[in-house]
Structure formats: structure tokens, C-alpha cells
Amino acid sequence: MQKQLTRRMAGEIVVSEKPGDTLRKWREIFNLSQKELANLLEVKPSVVCDFEKGRRASPGIGTVRKFVEAMVDYDSSHGSKVANSMVGRRTNEAIVDIKEFTSGITINKMLETIEGKVLAGNKELTERPIYGYTMVDSLKAITTFNAFGEMYGWSNERAVFFSGVHYGRSPMIAVRAHPVKPRVVVYIRPKTVDPLAPKLADMERIVLVKTELSEKEIIENLRYLK
């Protein structure tokens, strides 16, 4: 439950248009003052205040991780009241699997692992690193993507796999409609790919890929990706 909570919190902060407001929301959920959170982080209270007020640059993944883990660890040491309160709450039903990598993996390396065929994206884009992946049910994703934060985990610098793809048009439209984009979109065994999908991917500088491996094979192969 703690792992799920940290993903949810970090994802919401990362994709938020106002990360400071989202950070404050979670701090208040954990019933912590700015001073108390600052003490947990071993920083001055003004640092927390500046992030929440937007007076500092949007926090990077490393900073978000420190904030989130400090709050979750505090909750754990006080009986996991917040984590337990989240049990049974509905999460994004579209998510089939989600993982974070211990370090950056180039898109090219991932493509080799999943036997992927590039439909959109040049060499420059495929040499970029990603830091995790999320596998989602295509049909459910289109109707339940109000929980993008949970989908993106710790970072949007990841691959998003869509299963159950028929034409590949709707998933790319959904991705393009959201202000935060993944680095890679992968269609799992699509029946066909609508020509609009690669065009949309090119417009957003997203690498679009298809693979004929099954969900199980992909998850198994990515487990050993280092």
C-alpha cells in the first residue's frame, strides 16, 4: 500500500500544472505543518514554503521523491494512518502493470528487449533514456484517464504500453490531449495502425512503436532490463 501511495503522490505532483499546490495538498493530508515537513527533510521551512508558493523552479524527480518518501515514512512510523485510509479506494483500473527502472535505459535498448518496430521517431529520440514503463488496457485507458498521475509513476520519462489496440488512433489522441506526455508509446499486437497515430506522435516528438509480443512476454523481458 505504501508503494502504491508513493506512486500516486509523486505522479500527481509531477504532472500537476501547479506542483506546489499539489505538494501542499498532500502535506495537509498527512497533517504536517511546513515546519514539520522541513524538519523531516532537514531543510529550512522557507524551502518548503518556496516550493508550495511556486517561488522555486518546479521540483525535479529527485526532489519530489524526497518530499514524498519523507511523508510516507513519517506516516509509516505513526501507524500508517494515511496509507491505511487509502485501502479500498478506487485506482486507475486501466493500469495492468507499472515499474520504475533503477537507472535510465535508452529507448533503443528497450526496443531490442520487446522486439519493437518504430512507427514514428528518429534516431535522436530513440537514444533518449527512460526511467520506467506503464502497461494499460487501451479501452479502459480511454475512458478512465483522469488518473494520469498514477499512470506516470515517478516520472513521465517512460514508455506507456497499450494493449487491446485495434487501430491505434484513440490512444494517441488521448495522450496528445494531456499536457504531460510519455517519451514512448507502444502498441501491443495492434490489428492495424491508423496513419494518424504516427503523425500525432511526430507532432509531439513521441516515439511510437508496435510489438507482437504478448503482455506477459513484455513484462517478463522488461523485468531483467538493466
Give yes or no for a contact between 83 and 191, defined as CB atoms under 8 angstroms apart: no
Mean pLDDT lowest for which of 51-55, 62-66, 128-132, 143-147?
Answer: 143-147
Percent of the chain topping pLDDT 70: 89
Which of the four CATH numbers 2.40.110.10, 1.10.260.40, 3.40.718.10, 3.40.50.720 does domain 2-85 have?
1.10.260.40
Instruction: For residue range 135-153, list pLDDT tens digits in order.
Output: 988 877 766 655 555 677 6
pLDDT tens for 153-164 read 667 789 999 998
> From its phi and psi, is residue 115 left (phi > 0), alpha (psi between -120 and 50) or beta?
left
Pairing label, strands 184-188, 207-211: parallel
Grid coordinates standing for 203? 507532432
- Residues 22, 67 contacting (CB under 8 angstroms): no
> Rounded mean pLDDT of the chain?
86
C-alpha cell at 106: 535508452
Q: Is the pLDDT of residue 126 over 80?
A: yes
pLDDT at 178: 76
> How many residues appear in the chain?
226
For the ranges 37-46, 75-84, 205-214, the lowest mean pLDDT is seen at 75-84
- Could you tell me where the DSSP H helices lie in 30-168? 34-41, 45-53, 61-77, 81-85, 107-114, 123-126, 138-144, 148-152
pLDDT at residue 29, as a whole number: 86
Chain region(s) in the chain for CATH 1.10.260.40: 2-85
Q: What letter represents residue 219's amino acid? A: I
Contact 174, 201 (CB under 8 A): no
Residues of the chain with CATH 3.40.1390.20: 95-223
Average pLDDT for 33-47: 94
Q: How far is C-alpha 101 from the geometric centre of its chain's CA atoms?
A: 12
**177, burial (CB in 10 Å: exposed 0-12, middle 13-18, buried 19+):** exposed
pLDDT one-digit tens code per residue, 101-112: 877 889 999 999
Cell 514539520 identifies what position? Answer: 36
User: In terms of pTM, does the model score above 0.75?
Assistant: no
> How many secondary structure helices (H) and strands (E) does the chain include?
13, 6
Average pLDDT over residues 199-226: 92
Architecture of domain 95-223: 3-Layer(aba) Sandwich (3.40)
Read off the pLDDT of residues 70-120 as tens digits, 9 standing for 90 and up.
999 999 999 888 887 665 444 567 888 888 887 788 999 999 999 999 999
Distances in Å between the Cα of 91 and the Cα atoms of 129, 144, 146, 185 are: 28, 10, 10, 22
Q: Give the per-residue pLDDT at 87.
A: 54
